[in-house]
Amino acid sequence: MSRDQQYQALLQQTDSNSEFERVVLQEIYQRGYKLPDAAQELILEANCKPDFVYKEDGIALFCDGSIHDSPDQRKLDQVERDNLKYNTAYTVLTLRHDEDWGAKLVILASL
């Protein structure tokens, strides 16, 4: 599968209610960084579904749009991500819409 086809397939797997996921994926693609292996894939050991997963590299990427701004949602997100961190070997990377998330993407440049 070509890089363009992989990008299009991932785009189709994103949460249809999350424009921020698609913006992040587009930025990863345009910068030429390695594309995730999957989007919205359940990790059973942690009962958690990151927005994007780099399986070989052990990175779970979360793209938090404005729906994640409420204190209650932030608590739920933290529990979910702690479960992932402590029950799997995944490293959690969270990009928030209201922060300089583009700067955090450089972490993916080394993949």
| Local structure of 56: helix, strand or coil | coil
pLDDT tens for the 111 residues of the chain, in order: 899 999 999 999 999 999 999 999 999 999 999 999 999 999 999 999 999 999 999 999 999 999 999 999 999 999 999 999 999 999 999 999 999 999 999 989 888
CA distance 6 to 73: 31
Q: Are 23 and 15 in contact (CB under 8 A)?
A: no
Identify any residues that bridge with 20 across adjacent strands, giving them in sequence order: none
- What pLDDT does 111 receive? 81
- What pLDDT does 110 receive? 85
The pair of structure tokens assigned to 56 is: 């070989």
- What pLDDT does 38 receive? 97
All structural domains of the chain:
3-110 (3.40.960)
